[in-house]
Structure formats: structure tokens, C-alpha cells
């Protein structure tokens, strides 16, 4: 039993006062699941430490999974956000045996190579240089688009959750925007 729903770092299922947010999240996840629609307006929850932002995101992740969506969870600030996001998307598709998985792996390499150009310390393996180099934002858009498209063809969708977004590096925030 949790001491308080407002304990920083604790995840709770009791989210008092969040009914409007929860209803909106359920509606959005259902819309993605039913229509295969892209939600063009990301949700960003801002508040003091311990008020339940992470718990609300975990609730949204649970709702997404219940509706058959693949989910990716990242905590920003632990490492460079774009390399972590690309690794999580590649992990999600690793078990696929299709041309989509090969395309996503190539897009991950392109994003990693794009990130190594500004000197962020991310490097591609030998012989993995992509045929074209895109800006990190373009590479990320292509990677997320290909992953979501492949999931849509399989009858699913994709939801990405980023906790502690304020701790993300500037290049990642610009690419996400």
C-alpha cells in the first residue's frame, strides 16, 4: 500500500483530480487504435515534483497497451535522448522478420550517423554509413514514421512516453519539436 499518491518517484493508480486528463488520454489512445490516426499534438504535463506526472504517464501507457498499441518508455536525462529513443524503437522491432525491420534498422543507423556529425559522441559501426545523412529531426521523423507505419500494417499503433522531458538535451528537444 502506498503512503501517499504524491510521493516523488512512486507510481500510483490513484490519480485524484486527473479525471479530465485521464479521459482525454483514453480517447486519444482509442483514436490511435481504432483509426490508426496520428495525434499531432503531444501532451506535456508540467507540475511540481511529486504531483503525479509520472503516474499519469504510466496510466497512459497502460491504456495504450490495453488498446493494442506498442509503447516505448524513456526517461530523459539518463543519456542522450535520441540514441536511447532509437535503441528502444529498434528493440521494439528486433523480433520482426520483415523488410520493415530492415528499413527501421537502416533508419536507426542513419539517425546515429546524423548524431555523430555534431560531435555528440554517438558513432556508427564500421561499414554502417548510411547512403544519405539527414538532420537529426528528419532522421527521427523518418524512424518514428516507419515504425508507426509498420505497426499500423500489423493492426497496431505506437505510443511514445518520455518522462522528465525537461532533462533532455537541446538537440533531442529540437528534433522532437
What total number of domains does the chain contain?
1
- String of DSSP letters for the chain: --S-TT-TT---S--TT-HHHHHHHHHHHHHHHHH-----S-------TTSSHHHHHHHHHHHHHHTTEEEEEEETTSS-HHHHHHHHHHHHHTT--SHHHHHHHHHHHHHHHHHHTTT-S--PPTT---SS---HHHHHHHHHHHHHHHHHHTT-EEEEEEESGGGS-HHHHHHH-
- pLDDT tens across 111-157, in order? 766 566 454 444 444 445 544 556 888 888 888 888 888 888 888 88
The answer to the question of residue 12 being in a domain is no
pLDDT exceeds cutoff 90 at 63: yes
Confidence of residue 58 (pLDDT cuts 50, 70, 90): very high
Confidence of residue 68 (pLDDT cuts 50, 70, 90): very high
The answer to the question of residue 11 being in a domain is no
The answer to the question of residue 1 being in a domain is no
The answer to the question of residue 9 being in a domain is no
The answer to the question of residue 40 being in a domain is yes
- Is the whole-model pTM more than 0.85? no
- pLDDT tens across 13-51, in order? 777 788 999 999 999 999 888 888 787 678 888 988 878
Amino acid at each position: 500500500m502506498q503512503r501517499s499518491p504524491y510521493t516523488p518517484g512512486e507510481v500510483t493508480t490513484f490519480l485524484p483530480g486527473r479525471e479530465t486528463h485521464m479521459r482525454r488520454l483514453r480517447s486519444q489512445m482509442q483514436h490511435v487504435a481504432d483509426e490508426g490516426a496520428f495525434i499531432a499534438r503531444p501532451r506535456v504535463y508540467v507540475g511540481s515534483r511529486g504531483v503525479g506526472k509520472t503516474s499519469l504517464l504510466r496510466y497512459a501507457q497502460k491504456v495504450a497497451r490495453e488498446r493494442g498499441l506498442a509503447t516505448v518508455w524513456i526517461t530523459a536525462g539518463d543519456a542522450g535522448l535520441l540514441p536511447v529513443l532509437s535503441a528502444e524503437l529498434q528493440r521494439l522491432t528486433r523480433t520482426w522478420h520483415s523488410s520493415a525491420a530492415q528499413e527501421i534498422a537502416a533508419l536507426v543507423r542513419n539517425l546515429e550517423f546524423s548524431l555523430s556529425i555534431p560531435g555528440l559522441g554517438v558513432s556508427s559501426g564500421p561499414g554502417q554509413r548510411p547512403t544519405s545523412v539527414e538532420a537529426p529531426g528528419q532522421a527521427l521523423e523518418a524512424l518514428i514514421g516507419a515504425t508507426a507505419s509498420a505497426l499500423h500494417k500489423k493492426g497496431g499503433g505506437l505510443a511514445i512516453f518520455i518522462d522528465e522531458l525537461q532533462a533532455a538535451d537541446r538537440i533531442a528537444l529540437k528534433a522532437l519539436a
